[in-house]
């Protein structure tokens, strides 16, 4: 039997980093087993579901490189994903079939009745759940004007057991669960019903999702059994916590996948890091996606929550930046430089940026840091010098640069080796340290006191620009 998995986000906001990990694990398992990976947008909450949120989710998945197998508008009513809302008639049909079979029933309890019921239960220290008051009553007793809901006639005795691929065998006593609503009075299905019907109709063989759905699973298993449908395998993933051990949230920073893209992380680095949250393969830290597909299985998923560690993510991102082709890396950094400079780079400037990459890569961890570290190459003259750079340009330093400028102007071979040789010879002649003249040069050429090797910077800037910048700084 072919494996079929799905990622089913609700389009009520951004693609959360926890949701991205769930999508990744589903995608990897499908690829590992040669199965299918479907995307289903659970858009039944019409008040909160927005087209913008849907596009944000799709965009995040595309950025991470996760393609889904139902990405064909021809089979999805013009969409490139399944819409849960469009299946609402099918959901209602199943609910009514369950009433006919005796597995569900109409409940005519009013909202006021249910509110009073819960208040009494709370006052008496009892669990707040539906008390089954319409479970065995005939419709002839129904009050006028009340649109009934359809409730599952859940088993009241015995137990429900789930054999989870990650968490092991878990059992819940049926008396802890109540007769949940399947179909609302307005004819719209609840989440519990819609998920089960969709998973069954899509042929889902493995439901891989966060362990916050564990209670839902026991309720949904009862729907499967009531319909006589084959159960899928379940795999519940441990929660992702923030660095402080609390549930990952906005206060920890960057909860959305788009935040990581905007901060300058590479998608392959984010995927690599998400893979390592609760999954492992020995001591391997850097795992390319092709290797992850080969190795991925449920046995390697731990049961304990994972803590999100930005230090580790930065380390992994730095690795992938270092392994990226210089020209490609320049293109990836281009939007960040455009943002910093307020303009796009010319093709000549892009060539310079690519040439700068070998010296930039070891110094940065994100694409945004590349932009910060290289924008001085493309700033208009005269450069604005920061406070530390200005302090470097003492009257004595300016005098040295004035003499060196004559030697720079005379250079016919403007390479970093030739420039360095001039400065070293000058430092020996004047009996001063090389840094006493190299640092002022750095300040003049970059406007800062921190940069890649300054003589290589000079070579990339070119003779004309170097002379102009030095003159700006000393005159």
Both 98 and 228 in one domain: the answer is yes
CA 335 to chain CA mean position, Å: 20
Six token digits for residue 114: 């249910």
Q: Above pLDDT 70, what percent of the chain?
A: 99
Q: How confident is the model at residue 32 (pLDDT cuts 50, 70, 90)?
A: very high
Q: What's the helix, strand, coil split of the chain in %, to 5?
A: 55, 10, 35
| Residue 247 and residue 231 share a domain | no
Assign 58 a pLDDT band (cuts: 50, 70, 90). very high
pLDDT at 242: 85
In a domain, residue 448? The reply is yes
Place of tokens 């290589």: 456
Question: Does 130 lie in the same domain as 67?
Answer: no
For range 10-38, the mean pLDDT: 94
- What pLDDT sits at residue 125? 87
- Identify the helix (H) or strand (E) that includes residue 53: helix 51-64
Instruction: Based on the fold, state whether residues 367 and 393 are members of the same structural domain.
Output: no
- Which of these ranges, 46-55, 434-443, 456-465, has the smallest mean pLDDT? 46-55
Residue 300 lies in a domain: yes
- Asked whether residue 230 falls in the same domain as residue 95, the answer is yes
What does each C-alpha distance from 157 to 153, 172, 175 come to in angstroms? 12, 11, 6
Q: Which residue has the tokens 């109709």?
A: 201
Domain-ending residue, one of 307, 334, 364: 307
Q: Reply yes or no on whether the pLDDT at 438 is more than 90.
A: yes
Condensed to tens digits (0 to 9), the pLDDT of residues 395-434 reads: 999 999 999 999 999 999 999 999 999 999 999 999 999 9
Query: Is 158 a domain residue?
Result: yes
Nearest to 273 by CA among 209, 316, 324, 210: 316
User: Which of 220-229, 255-264, 266-275, 313-322 bottoms out in mean pLDDT, i.e. has the lowest?
Assistant: 255-264
Query: How many domains, in total, are found in the chain?
Result: 4
Query: What's the pLDDT band for 47 if we cut at 50, 70, 90?
Result: confident
What is d(CA 153, CA 136) in angstroms, rounded to the nearest whole number?
A: 10
Backbone phi and psi for residue 161, each to the nearest 5 degrees, phi listed first: -115, 135
- Residue 34 tokens, joined: 């040669």
Is the model's pLDDT at 452 over the cut of 70? yes
Looking at the structure, do residues 204 and 124 belong to the same domain, yes or no? Answer: yes
Range of the domain at 201: 87-237
Report whether 223 contacts 216 (CB < 8 A). no
pLDDT-derived band at 44, boundaries 50, 70, 90 = confident
Domain co-membership, 21 together with 44: yes
Indicate the pLDDT class of residue 23, thresholds 50, 70 and 90: very high
- The CA–CA distances, whole Å, from 387 to 355, 373, 384, 450 equal 28, 17, 10, 12
pLDDT at 20 over 80: yes
Q: Which of 272, 307, 342 is the last residue of a domain?
A: 307
34 plus 101 within the same structural domain? no
Do 69 and 104 fall within a single domain? no
pLDDT band per the 50, 70, 90 thresholds, residue 297: very high
- Smallest Cα–Cα separation from 70: which of 40, 42, 44? 40
Does some domain include residue 317? Answer: no
Dihedral, CA of residue 66, residue 72, residue 77 and residue 82, to nearest 10: -30
| pLDDT tier, 253 (very low <50, low <70, confident <90, very high otherwise) | low
Residues 335, 220, single domain; the answer is no
What global pTM score does this model have?
0.92
Cα 344 to Cα 331: distance, rounded to the nearest angstrom: 11
Q: Which residue has the tokens 């006919």?
A: 100
Mean pLDDT of the region 350-364: 97
pLDDT tens by residue, 182-201: 999 999 999 999 999 999 99
Mean pLDDT of 207-228: 96
Q: How many CB atoms lie within 10 A of CB 127?
A: 9
CATH number at residue 410: 1.10.10.350
Residues 74 and 133 reside in one and the same domain: no
* Pair of tokens at residue 150: 């359809």
pLDDT for residue 391 is more than 90: yes
Q: Which pLDDT score is estimated for 250?
A: 64
In a domain, 313, yes or no: no
Look at residues 188, 213, 237 and tell me which one is the last residue of a structural domain. 237
* Residues classed as catalytic: 250
CA distance 277 to 293: 16
Q: Which residue has the higher pLDDT, 424 or 126?
A: 424
Q: What is the mean pLDDT of the chain?
A: 94
CATH of the domain at 57: 3.40.50.620
Write down the H helix ranges in 65-203. 88-101, 111-123, 191-201
**pLDDT above 70: residue 254:** no
The answer to whether residue 316 sits within a structural domain is: no
Inside any domain, residue 315: no
Is residue 320 in some structural domain? no
- Does 74 share its domain with 179? no
Q: Are strands 206-210 and 233-237 parallel, antiparallel or unpaired?
A: parallel
- Across 158-166, average pLDDT: 95
């Amino acid at each position: 039997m072919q494996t079929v998995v799905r990622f089913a986000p609700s389009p009520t906001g951004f693609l959360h980093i926890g949701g991205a990990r769930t999508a990744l694990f589903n995608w990897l398992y499908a690829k590992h087993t040669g199965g299918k990976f479907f995307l289903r947008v659970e858009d039944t909450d019409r008040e909160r579901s927005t087209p913008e949120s849907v596009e944000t989710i799709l965009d995040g998945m595309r950025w991470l490189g996760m393609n889904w197998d139902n990405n064909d508008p021809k089979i999805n009513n013009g969409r490139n994903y399944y819409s849960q809302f469009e299946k609402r008639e099918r959901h209602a049909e199943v609910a009514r079939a369950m009433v006919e079979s005796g597995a569900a029933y109409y409940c005519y309890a009013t909202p006021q009745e249910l509110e009073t019921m819960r208040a009494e239960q709370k006052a008496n220290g009892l669990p707040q759940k539906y008390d089954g008051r319409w479970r065995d009553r005939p419709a002839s007793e129904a009050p006028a004007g009340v649109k009934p809901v359809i409730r599952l006639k859940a088993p009241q005795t015995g137990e429900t057991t789930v054999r989870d691929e990650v968490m092991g065998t878990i059992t819940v006593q049926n008396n802890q669960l109540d007769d949940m609503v399947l179909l609302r009075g307005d004819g719209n299905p609840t989440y519990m019903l819609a998920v089960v019907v969709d998973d069954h109709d899509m042929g889902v063989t493995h439901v891989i999702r966060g362990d916050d759905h564990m209670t839902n699973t026991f309720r949904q298993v009862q729907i499967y059994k009531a319909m006589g449908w084959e159960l899928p395998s379940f795999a519940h993933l441990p929660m992702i916590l923030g660095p402080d051990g609390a549930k990952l949230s906005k206060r920890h920073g960057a909860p959305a996948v788009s935040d990581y893209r905007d901060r300058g992380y590479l998608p392959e680095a984010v995927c690599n890091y998400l893979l390592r949250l609760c999954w492992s393969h020995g001591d391997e830290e850097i795992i390319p996606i092709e290797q992850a597909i080969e190795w991925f299985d449920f046995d390697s998923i731990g049961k304990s929550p994972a803590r999100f560690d930005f230090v580790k993510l930065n380390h992994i991102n730095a690795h992938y930046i270092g392994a990226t082709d210089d020209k490609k890396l320049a293109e990836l950094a281009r939007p960040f430089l455009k943002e910093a400079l307020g303009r796009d780079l010319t093709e000549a400037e892009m060539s310079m940026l690519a040439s700068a990459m070998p010296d930039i890569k070891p110094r940065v961890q994100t694409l945004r840091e590349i932009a910060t570290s290289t924008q001085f190459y493309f700033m208009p003259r005269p450069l604005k010098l920061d406070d530390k750079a200005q302090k470097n340009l003492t009257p004595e330093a300016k005098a040295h640069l004035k003499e060196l400028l004559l030697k720079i102007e005379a250079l016919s071979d403007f390479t970093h080796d030739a420039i360095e040789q001039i400065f070293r010879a000058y430092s020996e002649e004047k009996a001063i340290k090389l840094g006493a003249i190299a640092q002022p040069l750095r300040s003049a050429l970059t406007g800062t006191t921190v940069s890649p090797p300054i003589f290589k910077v000079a070579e990339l800037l070119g003779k004309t620009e170097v002379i102009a910048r030095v003159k700006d700084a000393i005159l």
